Amino acid sequence: MLQLPVREAVLDKGWMQLEDLMGGDAAVIRGARICYQSTARSAMADARLIERLMSSTPRHNTVFEHAVFRFAAKCPLFVARQWMRHRICTFNEKSLRYCAADREYYVPDVERGRDAYCAHMEASFDLYESLVQQGWPKEQARGVLGTAVYTEFIWTVNAWSLMNWLEKRLDAGAQAEHRAYAEAAMSLFEKAMPITAGAFTTSVLNR
């Protein structure tokens, strides 16, 4: 039994956390077996059924929607901006209208220009804090901050939509920083739904 929450560190200050899970592999089996009014004879038969559902063309997608995850993530704003293009899920994010921005930003692992990058980020936070002190509303003062600033959000997503995100964001064409979150989520997915994640890895990711 997986003890929740489980957190994986990502990038220099971020993380991906699995907070809650409804259903898991058993919910996929339940969804599939009601279609056929069948019952499992063994755990192996259930695993084979999931593998068949995952590799069939077209895939029997809705059965995977019975398993639902609630994740939390701490990531740079530019990663969150891409992530939130995925619509079949629910997000709630820390508000920089209501909360002061923490002086925390992503620093890429690149030597050249690093000092200038950090100096720029620090200066933007100096200005932000000074504007807030002068009475600017936080919702306007935040305009001077860059997209490397860390944000936090909650993400509720079913297993089908999670796999859609994973397929796109684990791809070599995805931005490396976003891919790092997909790798962490994949590792949590494997812990939470080992049979479905295994079938996904073999049939969809071809790993």
Among all residues, which ones are annotated catalytic? 169
Which amino acid does the sequence have at 135? G
Among 2-10, 50-58, 79-87, 144-152, which window interacts with ligand FAD (CB under 6 A)?
79-87
Among 9-17, 81-89, 125-133, 181-189, which window interacts with ligand FAD (CB under 6 A)?
81-89
Residue 86's closest CA among 182, 191, 176?
Answer: 182
Out of 7, 91, 156, 164, the residue judged to bind ligand FAD by CB under 6 A: 164
Residue 176 binding ligand FAD, by CB under 6 A: no
- Residue 44: count of CB within 10 angstroms of its CB: 9
Footprint on residues 142-161 left by ligand FAD (CB under 6 A): 161
Compute the least distance from the CB of residue 182 to ligand FAD, in Å: 10
Which residues on neighbouring strands pair with residue 158, listed in sequence order? 68
If phi > 0 it is left, if psi is from -120 to 50 it is alpha, else beta; for residue 135 that is left
Gyration radius from the chain CA atoms = 20
The smaller minimum CB distance to ligand FAD, of residues 135 and 173, is found at 173
Which amino acid does the sequence have at 69? F
Residues of the shown chain interacting with ligand FAD in the complex, contacts defined by CB under 6 A: 85-88, 161, 164, 168, 173-174
